[in-house]
Structure 1
Amino acid sequence: MRYLIAIVGILMVFVLTFLASNDRRKIRYRPLLVMIIVQAILAFVLLNTGVGEFMIKGFASTFDHLLAYAMQGVNFVFGGIANEGQSPFFLSVLLPIIFISALIGILQYTKILPFIIRYIGLILSKVNGMGKLESYNAVASAILGQSEVFISVKKQIGLLPKHRLYTLCASAMSTVSMSIVGAYMTMINPKYVVTALVLNLFGGFIIASILNPYTVDKEEDILEVQEEEKQSFFEMLGEYIMDGFKVAITVAAMLIGFVALIAMVNGIFDGIFGISFQELLGYVFAPFAFIMGVPWHEAVEAGSIMATKMVSNEFVAMLELGKHTALSAHTVGIVSVFLVSFANFSSIGIIAGAVKGLHEKQGNVVARFGLKLLYGATMVSVLSATVAGLFL
């Protein structure tokens, strides 16, 4: 029965995406079939095999060590600020982002990351049937982040037609940056983080291929990546450290604002209707949770967490998930995979602002299709969670 519901769920994602497609006649079904099979194989390997367990443990162990190193810097500056045995969220989860950002800068400076991103992107383009630029951008988004990635392709942004620009932005919203992966792993099981990262990469292409189908001519499919302006090593390091600090502070500010606002709205709804706003949204999202594989008796609770992510951000939703200790392991796994992406309303402004900073006209174009971006990225999260649910 569980497998039947998951298959129906996948079909429902395709139907909902198909109904919103720009041009249904241009949809190419063979690459879609290949990518959904690849997704299923990867989910099985990561969640049900010794090889997958080894890879996830290696990935998680690497980040455990990195976070331990990061905490040495945090403790040097903020040691003694917390009560003994306590670890405030800002210090233990957000500030380590600074160290991870510095490492990314070093890998960028030494040309290791650009090499990896470029050639993984070229391999992906053979599988997904899309352009080299789109494939490069998807991999780069998963490492550099949803706003930083556009800097590396800023030469092309002004030349891209609307449909190709949409795919680039959709990739940025469907993935998460490597600098905050460590923070996620302190809040949810690392195996769900890794699984979501991999599945979302292909899910982004699947949904974009239905919502926004097109073909790219070889003449216009030129992958010319913008080289960063040459800096000294320590100039670069200082810049990436400050970028990491800005991300940490921005996330902290968003959490303070959204958690407080949600608490206020919940209080108002509870006082007037006898039900919190999150519980109300839970009923709206419950059918989606159910087709993802969540048992019906947990669907409203799971739907509430999913809705929290969409109206606020994934950090708020992950904190909320941690409070729901009665949920089954199966449901926690599905919801966890759903939460690992930037698919929320605030991301529309972040991505449009990033593009506008490089090309004002194209930034306005992105703002106009912002809601469709969110719709597509949410479908990616639903698809990834549904596929993962088959093997949980």
Structure 2
Amino acid sequence: ALAVAANIFLGMIESPIVIRAYLDKLTRSELFLMMVVGLATVAGSTMVAYAAILGPVMSNAAGHVLVASIVSAPAGVLLARIIIPETAGEGGVAADYESALKYDSAIDAIVKGTADGLMVVLNISAVLIVFVALVALVNVMLGGFWLFGDHVTVERLLGWLFMPVAWLTGVEWSEAGKAGWLLGVKLTLTEFVAFIELGKVPAGEMSERTRMLMTYALCGFANIGSVGITVTGLSVLMPERREEVLGLVWKGLFAGFLATLMTAAVVGAMPAAIFR
């Protein structure tokens, strides 16, 4: 519960640090839940950036971004429990959560915490660069192919695949192509790039309703780069469970991505009058 609450304002690796003393005690279901919620929400620092990007083209952008991260947390909990339910007798009151993390002094805690934080940051930065570079490499390989008058890219291919998904969240079919492309950008090039592209769309080329729905659908760390970040960060914090993390991370990406779509669908099901 503490990790889920922290995930609303902290990143997917910062929130596990909050409960680091108990990471080795988490059940498989609890570990997966923590991963999914981390991928379904965003950090407070990125909320400010997203609000600044969307501010010129959408009213009350900061409020929508904040609500998106809050609502996606219980959506992530729901999906995580459905995909990997808790085994009776393992978690909750039946588990032993006695902390094995001990420090010799306050200075020892500060030094070790700083070292762990630095290692996590360095690994995350390197992995993010590599994963984005791999997507760019695939796009270069596909660049020789043309389809409908433009180069084929991973984002475009996923955009066509996500068109019906965007429509199911409440986007009009006439705008589903653009919305699906934004979802493809989020999945491959991170949600930060997707928000930049969403902010570039002129007000006259996208309805206020679609822009709002896309704000909720894009507001989460569920992208391919985050897969590497999750594995790297948790491997530093809990190296003894690295194999378990590797086995769960792709399911976590699917659940985290679906959680943000569920949040957008909830907003899309509301009366159209609220978007005026």
Which TM bucket (shorter chain)? Answer: 0.7 to 0.9
Question: Contact conserved, 1:333 with 1:389, CA < 8 A, in 2?
Answer: no
Q: Deviations over 1:282-335 (max 9, x none)?
A: 210001101100001111110010011011201111112123321111111111
- Give the stretch that moved more between structures: 217-226 or 302-311: 217-226
In terms of Rg, which structure is larger? 1
Question: Contact conserved, 2:132 with 2:188, CA < 8 A, in 1?
Answer: no
Q: Deviations over 1:251-279 (max 9, x none)?
A: 99579848965874674343797453233
Whether 2:50 is the aligned partner of 1:171: answer no
RMSD: 3.6
Query: C-alpha separation between the residues in 2 aligned to 1:177 and 1:310?
Result: 17
Question: Contact conserved, 1:153 with 1:226, CA < 8 A, in 2?
Answer: no
Query: C-alpha separation between the residues in 1 aligned to 2:33 and 2:250?
Result: 14
- Which of the numbers 164, 170, 179 marks the counterpart of 1:293? 170
Query: C-alpha separation between the residues in 1 aligned to 2:261 and 2:267?
Result: 10
- Which of the numbers 90, 93, 107 marks the counterpart of 1:218? 93
Whether 2:33 is the aligned partner of 1:158: answer no
Give ranges in structure 1 of 5+ residues lacking alignment: 1-134
Question: Contact conserved, 2:75 with 2:259, CA < 8 A, in 1?
Answer: yes
Q: Deviations over 1:207-242 (max 9, x none)?
A: 11211222534132748697997359x999x99x98
Whether 2:6 is the aligned partner of 1:140: answer yes
Query: C-alpha separation between the residues in 1 aligned to 2:197 and 2:141?
Result: 15
Give ranges in structure 2 of 5+ residues lacking alignment: 55-60
Question: Contact conserved, 1:258 with 1:312, CA < 8 A, in 2?
Answer: no
The TM-score normalised by the length of structure 2 is 0.77
Q: Deviations over 1:170-215 (max 9, x none)?
A: 1221111123221121112222211211111211112112112225
Question: Contact conserved, 1:258 with 1:316, CA < 8 A, in 2?
Answer: no
The TM-score normalised by the length of structure 1 is 0.56
Query: C-alpha separation between the residues in 2 aligned to 1:223 and 1:379?
Result: 34
Query: C-alpha separation between the residues in 2 aligned to 1:179 and 1:223?
Result: 32
- The residue identity in structure 1 corresponding to 2:166 is A
Whether 2:190 is the aligned partner of 1:306: answer no
Question: Contact conserved, 1:338 with 1:381, CA < 8 A, in 2?
Answer: yes
Call closer, same or farther: CA 1:180–1:262 in 2, change over 3 Å: farther
- The residue identity in structure 2 corresponding to 1:219 is A
1:313 is paired with a residue whose SS is: helix
Query: C-alpha separation between the residues in 2 aligned to 1:355 and 1:181?
Result: 23
Query: C-alpha separation between the residues in 2 aligned to 1:259 and 1:267?
Result: 12
Whether 2:139 is the aligned partner of 1:230: answer no
Whether 2:144 is the aligned partner of 1:268: answer yes
Q: Deviations over 1:344-389 (max 9, x none)?
A: 1111111111121122231221111211011110110110111122
Paired residues, number? 256
- Give the stretch that moved more between structures: 165-174 or 377-386: 165-174
Question: Contact conserved, 1:150 with 1:354, CA < 8 A, in 2?
Answer: no
- Which of the numbers 262, 269, 274 marks the counterpart of 1:390? 269
Call closer, same or farther: CA 1:255–1:369 in 2, change over 3 Å: closer
- Which of the numbers 248, 252, 267 marks the counterpart of 1:369? 248
- Which of the numbers 338, 347, 350 marks the counterpart of 2:226? 347
* Equivalent residues in 2 for 1:239-258, closer than 5 Å: 257=133
Question: Contact conserved, 1:157 with 1:362, CA < 8 A, in 2?
Answer: no
Question: Paired residue for 1:315?
Answer: 192
* Equivalent residues in 2 for 1:99-118, closer than 5 Å: none
Question: Paired residue for 1:55?
Answer: none
